[in-house]
């Protein structure tokens, strides 16, 4: 009786399916990308919420800076826009959309 050793397993043997091999080799990379994507999206949502809260809390006499760099004091807050006094001597006022407000200046930055 002669025994012949086979170098490859037979077709119905214990070889894992190709999909499992793919997940085993690229699974950690895919998981890493999903986690990174989650943190990027989550941080963007947090930033958007902070900005939305800041715009909702605008009130008269707040010192603001627009996205164009204009500094001024809020005179009137309407639904979609804000009236800002930009020059004290000539009493110049400008209207801006709420979305054009970049930030509200703190007391330290006002000085």
Domain CATH code at residue 73: 2.30.30
In a domain, 94, yes or no: yes
Is residue 79, in this structure, part of any structural domain at all? yes
* Nearest residue to 103 via CA among 61, 69, 60: 69
Residue (of 24, 96, 19) closest to 64 by Cα position:
96
Instruction: Count structural domains, the chain.
Output: 1
Range of the domain at 88: 55-110
**Confidence band of 27 (pLDDT split at 50, 70, 90):** confident
Residue 30 inside a domain? The answer is no
The mean per-residue pLDDT over the stretch 3-11 comes to 57
Is residue 47 included in any domain, yes or no?
A: no
* 3-class state of residue 93 by DSSP: strand
Residue 77 within any structural domain of the chain: yes
Residue 12 has pLDDT above 70, yes or no: no
Q: What is the pTM of this model?
A: 0.62
């Amino acid at each position: 009786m002669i025994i012949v050793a086979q170098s490859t397993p037979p077709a119905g043997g214990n070889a894992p399916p190709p999909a499992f091999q793919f997940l085993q080799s690229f699974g950690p990379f895919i998981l890493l990308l999903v986690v990174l994507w989650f943190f990027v999206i989550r941080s963007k949502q947090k930033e958007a919420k902070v900005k939305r809260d800041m715009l909702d809390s605008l009130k008269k006499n707040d010192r603001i800076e627009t996205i164009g760099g204009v500094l001024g004091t809020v005179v009137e807050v309407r639904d979609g826009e804000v009236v800002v006094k930009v020059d004290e001597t000539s009493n110049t006022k400008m209207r801006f959309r709420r979305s054009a407000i970049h930030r509200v200046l703190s007391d330290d930055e006002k000085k």
